Amino acid sequence: MNNDKNVDKLKVIPLGGLGEFGMNCMAIRYKDDIIVIDAGLMFPEDELLGVDIVVPDITYLLENRAMVRGILLTHGHEDHIGGLPRILTELNVPVYGTEFTLTYVEGKLEEHKLLDGADLIEMVPGERFNIGPFNIQPIRVTHSLVDCVALAVRTPVGTIVHTGDFKIDLSSPDGKPFDLHSFAELGKEGVLLLLQDSTNCDRPGYTPGELAVRPRLDEIFSRAKRRLFFSCFSSSIHRIKLAMDLAHQHGRKVALIGRSMDNATEIAQDLGYINPPEGLLIHSGQIRDFPPEKVCVMISGTQGEPMSALSRAAVDNHKHAKIEAGDTVLLSSRVIPGNEKSIFSMIDHLYRRNAKVIYDDGASGLIHVSGHASQEELRLMINLLRPKFFVPVHGDYRHLTRHIEVATSTTIPERCILIEDGEVLELDANSATKTGKVTSGRVLIDSGSTSDVIEDIIIRDRKHLSEAGLVLAIISIDKMTGRQEGTAEIVTRGFAVNEEGMHAEARKIIQRTLETSSDEEKRDWMLIKEKIRADLKRYIQKNTGRRPMVMPVILEI
C-alpha cells in the first residue's frame, strides 16, 4: 500500500511564460503521467549578445522522461511552438495540435531535420480524447492567428482550463467564432483551476474584433495614389485575407514579398483560409508591369528586422520592392516593446524615400487590433467558468500581479495564486498549495541551432568584450631554458588608450613577472599565464580606470 499523502494530488508546474513574455511551457502531472501545454521560445534581450533564441530549461521533464505522455499546442505562434525542435531532440514524445498549428510545426521540424521522427497528432476543436488519466477537450478560441484552442483538461482531481492566447471575437472573419457555449457548459460542470492569458490584463474594456480595422484600411486603400506596400505580422492570416479582399475591391493586383509572408499565405491557401480570386496574385517580378495605382505589395518585416524585405526596401536594397516618392507604406501591426529603435529607423528611411508612412501612432481609426483579451473579457471568462482557483499565465511579474487584481474583483475564485517558473502548485478538490520548486530557467541558443547552447559565462565574456575591449599579450618562451625570447607583443582591440606608452610598460611588467617567478613556476604555463594576466590587469586598471579582458598567450619555441 502506498502511504504517500500526495499521491492523489494534481501538480501544475510552469517551466516558462510565468514571469516573462514568451517561452510558454506548462507541465501538468497526476501520479506518474505528465502532459505539457505549449513549447515556446523567447527572443533575446539586447544584453544577450549573439544569442538567437531562448527556450525553457526542461530538466524536470528529462528527469521524468518516462512519465511524459505528450505536448499539447494551443496555437502556432513562436512563443508557443518555437521551442519544439530543441525539446524534441531530447524528448521525442507525441505532439498534439490543430490542423493549421501542425502545418506550421511541420515546416519548423523539417528545417531542423526532425520531421521524419516526429509523432504529430491532429486535435479537432470540440472532439475530446484521452492521454493517460487526462481527458482533453480542445475549445475554439479567437486570436490574431487562426485555428487556436483553449484546453479543458479533466483529471481525477478536477477540471483545469488553460485558455492559451485568446480574445473574445464573435464575428471572426473565418466564420469560426469564439466558442462561448462550451465555456459556459464547463462552468456548469465545475472548474477546479483556470489558467488565463495575462497579456492585456492592464487594458480596460474589450479588445476589438478583427473586422474593426476594415473601415480605416478601406479608407487607406481608396486614398493611396500610387503603390501601396502593406505590412503585417505574417501569422495574421485574417489581416492578410482582408488586405487581399480590399486590393481586389480597389482594383489592385497583389504581390507577396518576403519568405515568412510567402510561407504563411501558402499554408493558409492550402487549408482554405484564404481564397484569392483568380488573377489577383502576381509574381514579385511583375510589379513594374502594372501602373503604380494598380498594385498592392504585401511585404514582411513590420518590426524592422535588419534583413527583412521591408527593411531592405526602405534602403533601396531589394530586387523587386522599390519604394518611390508618393508610394504609401502601411504598417498594420503594433510596435513590440524592444523593437522601437529598429522600427523607427526603418520608418526614417521610408520618409527619406518620400513615401507616405502610416503606422500605429494613436491617430483616428484602427489599423491594428490586439489578439489578446482585455479586462472585461477576462472577467467574462471568469464569470462563465466560475473556477475554484485562479492562476494568471503568460506575462511579466507585473502583469501576473495586475491580473490577480482583475480576477479578485470578480469575487468568484476562492483563491487567486501567483506562481512563477519552476514553482509547483499542488491541487486536490479543496485546496491549492505551493509546495516547492523544480529546476527551471532559460537555455540560450546560438545560430538558430537546436544544439549550440550558450553558457552564462560566454554571455558574460561577450558583454565584457563589448564594454571594455581586449588586451592580448603574446609571449615567446624557450621551452628548454624557460627564458623569454625577444619582447612580448601587445595587441589591443576596442581599447582606446595611448598605445605606445601602455605597450612599453606592459612589456616591462611581463618581463618582471617572468624574472621574479621561480623555475618551478616557469614550467607551469597555466600558472605563469595567470600571474601575467593578474599583473597586467592590475596595471591597466590603476592607470586607465578600465577593465578590459586580458589574455596572455604563451608560444613555446
User: Residues 368, 165: contact at Cβ < 8 Å?
Assistant: no
C-alpha 358/C-alpha 350 separation (Å) is 11
- Residue 55 and residue 24 in contact, taking contact as beta carbons nearer than 8 Å: no
Nearest residue to 396 via CA among 16, 11, 13? 16
The answer to whether residue 372 is catalytic is: yes
Say which CATH topology domain 10-206+370-454 has: Metallo-beta-lactamase; Chain A (3.60.15)
Predicted confidence at residue 528, as pLDDT, reads 82
Stretches where the chain sits below pLDDT 50 are 1-7, 49, 448-451
Three cell numbers, residue 413: 475564485
The CATH number fitting domain 210-358, selected from 3.40.50.10490, 3.40.50.10710, 3.10.20.440, 3.30.450.90: 3.40.50.10710
Please give the full DSSP string across 118-167, using - where no structure is assigned. Answer: --EEE--TT--EEETTEEEEEEEEB-SSSSEEEEEEE-SS-EEEE--S-B
pLDDT at 489: 84
CATH 3.40.50.10710 domain span(s) along the chain = 210-358
Q: Which residues are annotated as a binding site for Ca(2+)?
A: 50, 52, 446
pLDDT for position 493: 78
The residue written with cell numbers 527551471 in the block is 440
Between the alpha carbon of residue 102 and those of residues 175, 285, 545, the distances in Å are: 21, 32, 56
Binding-site residues, in ranges, read 50, 52, 75, 77, 79-80, 143, 165, 368-372, 394, 446
- Residues forming CATH 3.10.20.580 domain(s) in the chain: 469-556
Which member of 57, 197, 245, 535 is catalytic?
A: 197
Q: Name the CATH topology of 469-556.
A: Ubiquitin-like (UB roll) (3.10.20)
Please state at what angle helix 259-270 crosses helix 99-111, rounded to 10 degrees.
140
Coil vs helix vs strand at 540: helix
d(CA 292, CA 365): 25
Q: What is the 3-state secondary structure (H, E, C) of 184-225?
A: HHHHHHCEEEEEEECCCCCCCCCCCCHHHHHHHHHHHHHHCC
d(CA 24, CA 75): 11
- Binding residue numbers for Zn(2+): 75, 77, 79-80, 143, 165, 394
List the grid coordinates of 475.
609571449
472 HSE (CA, 13 A, CB side): 10
Locate 98 and state its grid cell: 490543430
Which part of the chain has CATH 3.60.15.10? 10-206+370-454
Q: Of residues 162, 238, 318, 372, which has the active-site annotation?
A: 372
CA–CA dist 346, 311 (Å, integer):
6
Report the pLDDT value the prediction gives residue 2, as an integer from 0 to 100. Answer: 39
Number of Cβ within a 10 Å radius of residue 406: 22
Are the C-beta atoms of residues 393 and 26 closer than 8 Å to each other? Answer: yes
